[in-house]
Amino acid sequence: MNTPRHRKGNVWGYGVGLLALMITVMIGIYLYAESLGSLVTPSGNVLQQAEEQIKAINEIQGQREEDVERVAGIDSDRPKKQRFALVLLDPGADEARVVEAVQAITTMNAERARDLVKSVPMEIKGHMSSSEAESARKMFEALGAKVSVREEQDQDKS
């Protein structure tokens, strides 16, 4: 008889074994679902208890934050630190030195700094203090570039 090698033996045995495995898995899933159902009883809902505990923890955390602020004398309406951004308007005649300066005040590689200088106007660096932004502005102006320092807007998400 000319039957392929992989067809020798009882082909029905594979199908029956697979069916038995599927039935076993389904019974396991059913039993697992039944055990989960016993966690939520009519006398006490576990999920509701957990939500109540989370609310209590959040209330305690909020009280602690208020206590810390009160003890430390922190006013929630205090002004935020001013931050500035340096914007390159025109690289001037010596683009190569401006690219090097961009690399010096940022951590950009040469290619990225060159792309930034060519796509003016572009913010070079943000989140700078007033003195840091002013010294960077002077450095770029000494190289012949036109830059501006602008104040960054505070972005509170409260």
Residue 115 within a domain:
yes
pLDDT at 20: 80
Mean pLDDT by 10 residues, the chain (158 residues): 56 68 84 66 62 76 69 60 88 90 88 90 88 90 92 63
Check which CATH number belongs to the domain holding 111 and give it.
Answer: 3.30.1390.10
Residue 100 inside a domain? The answer is yes
- pLDDT confidence of residue 51: 73
**φ, ψ of residue 75 in degrees (nearest 5):** -100, 130
Per the structure, the count of domains in the chain is: 1
What pLDDT is recorded for position 157?
45
Range of the domain at 97: 84-151
Distances (CA, A) of 44 to 36, 38, 40, 114, 152: 14, 11, 7, 66, 53
- Residue 87: the pLDDT is 92
139 is a domain residue: yes
CA distance between the termini of the chain = 80
Domain membership of residue 107 (yes or no) is yes
